Structure 1
């Protein structure tokens, strides 16, 4: 027999938060569909309440140093995984602050190829000041990965601006026969990650979008407004493609192990971040929507309060419709509320495109949860601590 029990919760709930703070190792499994760095600080706050959060990350980044690695090795992007692993890292472990500094280090964009090769060699030999600070055995593991990357690096590879963390993860990925989960598991243990990080798919795919005017744009880097002009037309459709030169759609299916992670979640969160390239991108693989609908836990959308170039032409209500559309793509008979039940906002201090249309949202089967999320210090963005407290209270 299965029963559905409704209960009232306070947000934030100081009693629950104190209980979770005393034993975060037994904390709730809050699952995030995300990518990028927008959620990084909130994740650092969340570990105070739970060491069991689940982070399903997009591997479709096609900009910056990730693009160079992807082109050279025909692989998924690793940068967002590095960011999330370090956000969840146990900062009390000896050597973790030093690993964080090493992983965040970027090689000089203005250095010559010879100088860059020498710096990478100094990392592999353990002479670089950043790797000397890392205690053994972690130092040996990182040195070995730097050395492995040197051996794998094709002639003429551009190291300018490369993230050391990305190089290390790439070496681990290639050394583990391109098993993404294996290298993420290894480095999760290395840094004592207080949460689970997994790619939504382990494939070398890219994003493609059709704009309102009919133009097709291929590549995540052309959507975010960071490496290309900001979009002036709304995105009408997003899909996966195999190559940056070919918009032909391809089908990806969520892996059973990821579907199982979704099934285990105590709360599913569609969080802040780039709306299409970080959030919707995670929902594209076939089976994600079905897995979400099958889990009776609460599902909450946390919309952006800052500027997101990918949201041009979209009100908050439009965003909810888009999310539900992609989540229901697997099955058009999924009941409203099975894939999204709540929108978490700060009506007083948050700024939302088109305002808060509570009635329109209710007609979509979505309730508005209004609580303090923005402070004077964080405005116009959400305060990471308040967001973590609100999500933990909802479980």
Structure 2
């Protein structure tokens, strides 16, 4: 087999290519995303109409919400964003086991007592709860076994209010599989017919830490987003992986993650919380090298609207920081090895820090200015525009 480079002009969006992909999504391109949270959920759900081969590298460093309780109890990676992406890519037809989908999407009530919540969990373990009773065997046995493992391991003071059942099932599977996430992700990907690949960037219990411009040290992803605590008062100067005390940790990716990145047909750094969702995935050792070796287009899609983590940063600053994190992975990596395009909507997009397109172009990165924002008052990037553009670039 001979490999060679080609250069071609691409129409964006390429409607003819999209029509072909829609007819046979099983043979669609391998678009790889470094993400976390919910910003890419709608785009992921739309992608399955065109490709069943997208790859989603998810940050497991979330330290807020339902995931935080499980992390604290079991010293484990966060599973909430993984569950979210599995559900976005799941086949919601009868072939995809909608009963499993409904169970994973369910949360225990906030208003009930701990006694009532533990009773509901026990009913699920025994297969008596309506959400579990309707699942066919052997899937029901798998769910019950994982929930039983979780139930047996729960600390007495564990707060079940608002707990995601999907998170509890994944956590139980993690404990049942000798504290490995890949086997349980693989199992449930098959159960709900996930049309794509979802993997945490590393299978480790680590925290996200940041040094701010005013010298403050922030440990914990949830303290950076402004969702559960006050917004940052000073810009983030440095982001790194740490233990619970804020001490830096040098964490490499596994060879199979490196191979997954290397095999991508397009790499996207998508919209979302810039530091805690996008850059967080790029911090483990080996990510930058794997990205630089991947012979495919590499695209950054900056968020529109306010991102509290981007205090003091324009889009050009974000491009530089993105490149710096990836290039720091190994000597000799250039910006042109890890980033080629930046997608913006100059006419409709809201970029609070500004764009500075001239500076981006001076860095050797091509700016693609195209419609990304939907109709109405929302500043969010519309999946109806973004998915066809990314597929046309692949």
Shift of 1:126: 2.1
Secondary structure class of the residue paired with 1:223: helix
The CA deviation at 1:360 is 0.8
Structure 1: distance between partners of 2:79 and 2:229? 21
SS at match of 1:351: coil
Q: Distance in 2 between matches of 1:275 and 1:392?
A: 22
Paired residues for 1:68-87 under 5 Å:
68-87=69-88
- Cα offset, 1:95, TM superposition: 5.8
The residue number in structure 2 matching 1:303 is 302
1:393 aligns to what SS in structure 2?
helix
Instruction: Report the counterpart of residue 383 of structure 1 in structure 2.
Output: 382
Moved more, 151-160 or 341-350: 151-160
The 1-side partners of 2:383 and 2:376 are apart by 11
After superposition, the C-alpha distances for 1:13-36 in whole angstroms (9 at most, x for unaligned) are 100000000110000000000011
Kindly report the root-mean-square deviation, in angstroms, between the aligned alpha carbons of the 2 structures: 1.4
Q: What CA deviation, in whole Å up to 9, does each residue of 1:112-167 have, x standing for no partner?
A: 22111111011112222222333333223222222222112122222111111100
User: In 1, Cα distance between the equivalents of 2:96 and 2:369?
Assistant: 40
Residues matched between the structures, number:
393
- TM-score (structure 2 length as normaliser): 0.97
CA distance in 2, matches of 1:331, 1:312: 28
Shift of 1:332: 4.2
Looking at structure 2, the residues matched to 338 and 353 of structure 1 have their Cα atoms a distance apart, in angstroms, of 28
Q: How does 1:287-302 map onto structure 2 within 5 Å?
A: 287-302=286-301
Q: Which residue of the partner structure matches residue 220 of structure 2? A: 219
Question: In the aligned structure 1, how far is the partner of 2:103 from the partner of 2:5?
Answer: 48
Deviations 1:36-68 (A, max 9, x none): 111011000000110000011111011111111
Residues 181-213 of structure 1: per-residue CA shift (max 9 Å, x gap): 111111111111000011111111001100110
Residue 346 of structure 1 and its aligned partner are, at CA, apart by 1.4
Following TM superposition, by how much is the alpha carbon of 1:336 offset from its aligned partner in structure 2, in angstroms?
2.6
CA contact (8 A) 2:25 2:50 kept: yes
Residues 327, 334 of structure 2: 8 Å contact kept: no
- What secondary structure is seen at the aligned counterpart in 1 of 2:237? strand
Aligned twin of 2:354: 355
Say yes or no: does 1:179 pair with 2:175.
no
In structure 2, the CA distance between the partners of 1:19 and 1:48, relative to structure 1 (3 Å rule), is same
Matches for 1:49-64 after TM superposition, within 5 Å: 49-64=50-65
> Could you give the per-residue CA deviations for residues 239-291 of structure 1, whole angstroms, max 9, x where no partner exists?
11111xx1110100011000000110000000011100110000101111011
1:154 alignment partner in structure 2:
155
Find the aligned partners of 2:363 and 2:34 in 1 and give their Cα distance. Answer: 21
TM-aligned CA deviation for residue 2 of structure 1: 4.6
Mapped to 1, the partners of 2:393 and 2:139 lie a distance apart of 37
Mean CA deviation greater in 325-334 or 352-361 = 352-361
Distance (Å, rounded) in 2 between the aligned partners of 1:10 and 1:95: 34
Maintained 8 Å contact 1:95/1:134: no
Where 2:242 maps in the other structure, the secondary structure is: strand
